[in-house]
Amino acid sequence: MSFSRSRFQSYVDFTGTQIGSIAYLGLAQFNGDAYFGDVQFSGDANFQYTRFNGTTNFAEVRFGRKADFNNGHFSGNTFFTQSQFIGNAYFFGSQFISKDVDWVFPRGIANFDLTQFNNYTDFSGAQFSGDADFKGANFAKDLKLNYAGFYNLNLLNVSFKPSALVSLSDGEFMRSDSSRILVRWDSIKNHLVYNELAYLYLIRNFKSLGFFDDADDCYYEYRWNKMFSQTSFFGSLGDIISWASCGYGIGWINTVASAIFMIFLFGIIFSKHFCWDLRNAMWASAIVMLSLPAEWFPFGKDQYENFIKYHRKLAAFERLMGWSLLIILISTLSRIMIRY
């Protein structure tokens, strides 16, 4: 079927049509509403450079092979609700720009709710003047949104197969204070391709939506990935210390674990150096680090005072570590518990 370069001046309805061969509609122009609901494309569907100047409905369409909408132009509300893309789906350079003046949808909608993308999906460079809604969509392979632009992007309840990757890089939305991505971190955390700008945007995005736990988890993974990409020794060392002492400022359990580790470490030192049994050495180390009463020292108060007197530097160093970790713990808990 070929309608390449054709012009449709009014309403067009292909609803329920079964197209067994390759469909050529590249460079076509639909000046009225275009309905392709429940169409079955058995071959490739070519819509390159096609202009849709009215409402465009591809709801419940099945694209059996490649669907090519590269550089397409959608001027009205666009719906791909519950469609299936069996082959690769290309929307590279497409523009979704509404001419509507209706106050309900002043920016227009590109709706891909519950759509199934069974192969690679590329929206790189696509420009949505309004909302792009992928709520409940399923992606079997990679989703590319590099250099895309939109007002709001809805990825709630989206599912990705384990090997699928999501690529966000240098999109216009990253430089806008009003654009939002509606998504939960759990749904993309194992799929997001590492990009510093993308992570920093998502952290800010989660905070603006009130998803503070998601923001913390995203920040943690960002810092973790960045730690392994450091080229500077001191940069790597600082990241390691930050991770071990406070989980990059959001992991109070790391602080507690570090304190326990230090107690065990100094306990082993005391046990070897002073020939104390390990249990008493651990208890003595905890008393020194936590500045507990001298009367609790396992060998008595007098022995504790002698220990402090003759091993002042060792005791002072452990106590300094204890106070430092306590300050870090209070600071970390304050950051986690007090949200702005």
CA distance 221 to 214: 11
Q: Count, in order, helices (H) and strands (E) of the chain.
A: 8, 28
SS3 state of residue 6: coil
Instruction: Tell me which residue of 94, 56, 101 sits closest to 77, measured CA to CA.
Output: 56
Residue pair 172/148 in contact by the 8 Å Cβ criterion: yes
The whole model's pTM is what? Answer: 0.77
Local structure of residue 141 (DSSP, 8 states): S
Residue that is written with structure tokens 């809805």 in the block = 154
Angle 47-51-52 from CA coordinates, rounded to 5° = 100
Q: Is 293 exposed, middle or buried (0-12, 13-18, 19+ CB in 10 A)?
A: exposed
Reading the block at residue 158, the tokens are 């989206």
Instruction: Tell me which residue of 275, 269, 277, 272 sits closest to 288, measured CA to CA.
Output: 269
pLDDT of residue 68: 92
Task: Give residue 294's identity as a one-letter amino acid code.
Answer: A
| End-to-end Cα spacing for the chain | 58
pLDDT tens sequence for the chain (340 residues): 677 778 888 889 999 999 888 999 999 999 999 999 899 999 999 999 999 988 889 888 999 888 999 888 888 788 888 888 888 888 888 887 755 433 233 345 677 888 888 888 888 888 777 778 888 888 988 998 888 878 888 999 999 999 999 998 877 777 777 788 999 999 999 999 998 999 999 999 999 999 999 999 999 999 998 888 877 887 888 889 999 999 999 999 999 999 999 999 999 998 888 888 888 899 999 999 988 888 888 888 888 888 888 788 888 999 999 999 999 999 999 988 886 5
Angle 336-338-340 from CA coordinates, rounded to 5° = 110
pLDDT of residue 105: 34
Q: CA 114: distance to chain centroid?
A: 20
pLDDT of residue 106: 37
pLDDT of residue 54: 87
Domains of the chain by residue range: 7-229, 242-337
SS3 state of residue 41: strand
CA distance 288 to 315: 7
Residue pair 108/79 in contact by the 8 Å Cβ criterion: no
SS3 state of residue 90: strand
Reading the block at residue 195, the tokens are 């990009």
pLDDT of residue 212: 93
pLDDT of residue 125: 81
Residue pair 121/99 in contact by the 8 Å Cβ criterion: no
Q: Where are the beta strands (DSSP E) in 113-227?
A: 116-117, 121-122, 127-128, 131-133, 138-139, 143-144, 152-154, 159-160, 166-167, 180-182
